[in-house]
Every structure is written in C-alpha cells, then in structure tokens.
Amino acid sequence: QVQLVESGGGLVQAGGSLRLSCAASGRTFSGYTMGWFRQAPGKEREFVAVISWGGGNKDYTDSVKGRFTISRDNAKNLVDLQMNSLKPEDTAVYYCAADLSHKYPPISRPKPTTAADFDSWGQGTQVTVSS
C-alpha cells in the first residue's frame, strides 16, 4: 500500500498562487499514475489533474488549464500541484491519489480521470481563495 500525505494548502487572495505537495511512502510510486482531485462543500469530488508514471503525459480539467501545473519527482516520491491565478471557485479540499491497479501502464491506455479509478488517497489539504 502507498500512504499519501498532502501539504501546502492555505488561505490566499484571488490571483495568488499556492503549491501543493503530496509525499508518498510505504512503497515506491514511480510506476503508477498519480492525480489530484478536489471537493468543495456540498459538491462531489472532482478531477483536477493527472500525471503519467514517467511524468511525460498530463491532463487537466478545463477550468484549471493554463493555471495549474502537475509535476512529479519519482526519486523523492513527490507529486506537486502548482496553482496560479487562483479564483474563489478553486476553494476546496484538495486530495492526492494513486492508481495502484496499473503499474507502468502504456501510453495508449486512457488516463484515469474519475475518483473510482484511484485506489489510494491522502487526507486532503484545504485551499481557500478569498475574493
């Protein structure tokens, strides 16, 4: 199993930036697809970004494209989410997730973008963007 711990959340004004980090422990996560999700009060958990095991393939939900960047450092077991130009609607608890069901998936495999595709989750970190 992989344990995931998020950090870096906080309160920021609209237009500001935050960098979230997800530290993995328990076993190496270098062969697995990683993702970030978020959940606002009263709403379902939604996909934010995903990154392939090698880091070369990424995808984002439309609302964050051009503002958020996902990256990973397999040597350090870290996955980051750089969030720029934050908006009040970005306010949510952000979760890091790992797809442990597919190790070294081929590039041809569609990237997972739903919560059901991921097996391991962190506890979440709160991001609040004030207007």
Residues 49, 57, 117, 6: is their CA dihedral positive or negative? negative
CA–CA gap between residue 28 and residue 72 (Å, rounded):
13
- Over its length of 131 residues, how does the chain's per-residue pLDDT go in tens digits? 789 999 999 999 999 999 999 999 887 778 999 999 999 999 999 999 999 999 999 999 999 999 999 999 999 999 999 999 999 999 999 999 999 888 888 888 888 999 999 999 999 999 999 99
Concatenate the DSSP letters of all residues of 57-91 into one string.
-EEE-GGGTTTEEEEEETTTTEEEEEE-S--GGG-
